[in-house]
Amino acid sequence: MELSSELKKEMYWMMLLSRRLDERAWVLHRQGKIAFHISGIGHEAAQVGAAFALKRGHDWVTPYYRDLALMVSLGLTPEEFMLSLMGKAGEPSSGSRQMPSHFGLRRVNAVSHSAPVATQAVHAAGIGLAIKIKKEKKVVLTTIGEGSTSQGEWYEAVNWAAVHQLPVIFLVQNNQYAISVPPEMQMAVKSAADKACGLGLPGQMIDGTDVFAVYKIIAELADAARNGKGPALVEAKMYRITPHSSDDDDRTYRSREEVEENKKFDPLLLTQKRLMDEGIYTEKDLEGLDKKAKQMVTDAVKLAEDAPYPTAQEAAYPVYAEEVPNV
């Protein structure tokens, strides 16, 4: 499968825009303008590659909190992300009831998720079951960090999908840290993909910094799943360049040297180099795109800053799908 230059440009743009959004969130936090940010810097290649492999609005996604680039690729706008950071009205995932980066976007079949990890994997199995019962040609992508594959919920979800041959792709983003804890304290296998052999589905480990490779692999698996070939488990490896969240201090558990060394494998830089090597973009083109992305982020910040907060009374609703009278 040869990727067109246009497709590569689109994927790069989503990586770039997500990165600039993420970086701005850190700045806003340091400025005291937002209370919290959870970062996906370093994850962009895996997330954008996976998102582009889906038929957006047709296939389904149960994401997790590090999936900014995935969500932006699916259609979350910069303004919507900024609304969530600031807890403003009109935020689409929760009406700003949830903390930022607790994603969910109905219009692209991206399901709301919570903070207890791995709960979303089980929902993906259920969505896959519904797709199978209805005999539809769709796939569910569910994402998760490597640490959360320690949860029983995750094993039960993968087991269900394997037993019932459900159209689910389990994408594990192994960024080497679950807050502070490294993978060797989470699992005795070398890769979460190795867990597949105990559960009866194909598993593979891929380079999570190569956006085009991720796209190709997930696209193939998605196509197979849509056509009744069952689930797959993929571990994409990358490095979490930032601390876990704005409340974390990663100096307490990893050296600056280690972080600097890993910045060489920053997927955004690798993709930029690739596009220049392939003659798709010049340095000047990239500078222009960067300027455009930063301007979009600035505009989004402005819109969000000017947006109103929800009224306090909105906190009372909606508890139920319909009004429940206190009879």
Partner 1 sequence: MSEKSMVEAIRDAMDEELARDENVFIVGEDVGQRGGVFRATVGLFEKFGADRVIDSPLAELSIVGVGIGAALYGMKPICEIQFADFIFPAFNQIISEAAKMTYRSNATWTVPMVIRAPYGGGIGGGLYHSQSVEAFFAHVPGLKVVIPSSPYDAKGLLKSAVRDPNPVIFLEPKKGYRLIKGEVPDEEYVVPIGPARVSRFGEDLTIFAYGMMHYYALQAAEQLEQEGYSAEVIDLRTLYPVDRNTILESVKKTGKALIVHEDNLTGGYGGEISAIIAEHGFNDLDAPIRRLAGPDVPAVPFSHPMQEWFMVNPEKIFKSALELARY
Closest separation between CB of residue 59 and partner 1, Å?
A: 12
**What Cα–Cα distance (Å) separates residue 245 from each residue in 29, 37, 101, 259?**
11, 6, 11, 15
List Cβ neighbours of 88 (8 Å cut-off, separation of 6 or more): 82, 96, 304, 307, 308, 309, 310
Is residue 240 part of the annotated active site? The answer reads: yes
CB 35 within 8 A of CB 309: no
Closest separation between CB of residue 54 and partner 1, Å?
A: 16
Name the nearest CA neighbour of 149 among 113, 201, 112, 191. 191
By beta-carbon proximity to partner 1, the closer residue of 114 and 255 is 114
Q: How many C-beta atoms surround the C-beta of residue 257 within 10 A?
A: 8
Closest separation between CB of residue 124 and partner 1, Å?
A: 6
By beta-carbon proximity to partner 1, the closer residue of 95 and 202 is 95
Closest separation between CB of residue 91 and partner 1, Å?
A: 8
By beta-carbon proximity to partner 1, the closer residue of 130 and 219 is 130
Closest separation between CB of residue 148 and partner 1, Å?
A: 13
Q: E strands within the chain?
A: 60-62, 140-145, 168-174, 203-207, 232-237
Q: By CB neighbour count within 10 A (0-12 exposed, 13-18 middle, 19+ buried), where does 311 fall?
A: exposed
- The residues of the shown chain that bind partner 1, judged by CB under 8 A, are 60, 62, 92-95, 97-98, 102, 104, 106, 111-112, 114, 116, 119, 122-131, 133, 152-153, 156-157, 159-160, 163, 317-322, 324-327
Is residue 37 part of the annotated active site? The answer reads: no
Q: Which candidate in 164, 253, 254, 274 is catalytic?
A: 253
Q: How many C-beta atoms surround the C-beta of residue 298 within 10 A?
A: 13
Tokens found for residue 88 = 């403003």
∠ CA 300-304-307 to the nearest 5 degrees?
Answer: 140
Is residue 253 part of the annotated active site? The answer reads: yes
Determine phi and psi for 142, rounding to 5 degrees.
-125, 135
By beta-carbon proximity to partner 1, the closer residue of 93 and 242 is 93
Catalytic residues: 240, 244, 253
